[in-house]
Amino acid sequence: MQADPQVIPRAFIEFLMTSRPAQLNEVQMMAYRAFWYDPTIQKGGHALFLANHGSEGIDEVTGSLEQIGAGPQADLLREAGARWQSRDRLETRDLSAYVKATSESEFLDLDSMYQECVPSISELLERYLHENVDQFIQVVEEI
């Protein structure tokens, strides 16, 4: 019987989705940060990422992106962070309205460039998994 080639990638995604940062080693944290950055940008762009996280932790996320080979995406996040820090931000209770208003202007160019990055974060995470599979998945052979 042939093994399903998607078993390991699915287990990797489940691992990243269910892990807490305190449980992870440095190799795993690189993937974890990149993994959670990508869907946030896909959902609401850099405005959503920065509205949720502020500029705190940008260095860690950009370092993780660079570690997995996502240098262009890291540069875009750095630029977004610089823009974010360049002016005062209002507190808002309606995060979705704030993100919509902000993403329609301030970060739209960066969000568009992010979508054009090749390879994508998903592709780079898959490569990172293959290079470090022993850090994420314990393969048990069936008898």
Q: Quote the domain boundaries for residue 95.
A: 7-135
Domain contains 59: yes
Is the pTM higher than 0.95? The answer reads: no
Torsion on CA atoms 133, 60, 53, 13, rounded to nearest 10: 0
Domain membership of residue 2 (yes or no) is no
SS3 106: coil
- How far apart CA 31 and CA 27 sit, in angstroms, is 7
Number of domains in the chain: 1
Letter for the amino acid at 51? A
pLDDT tens profile 38-86: 999 999 899 889 888 888 889 999 999 999 999 999 999 999 999 988 8
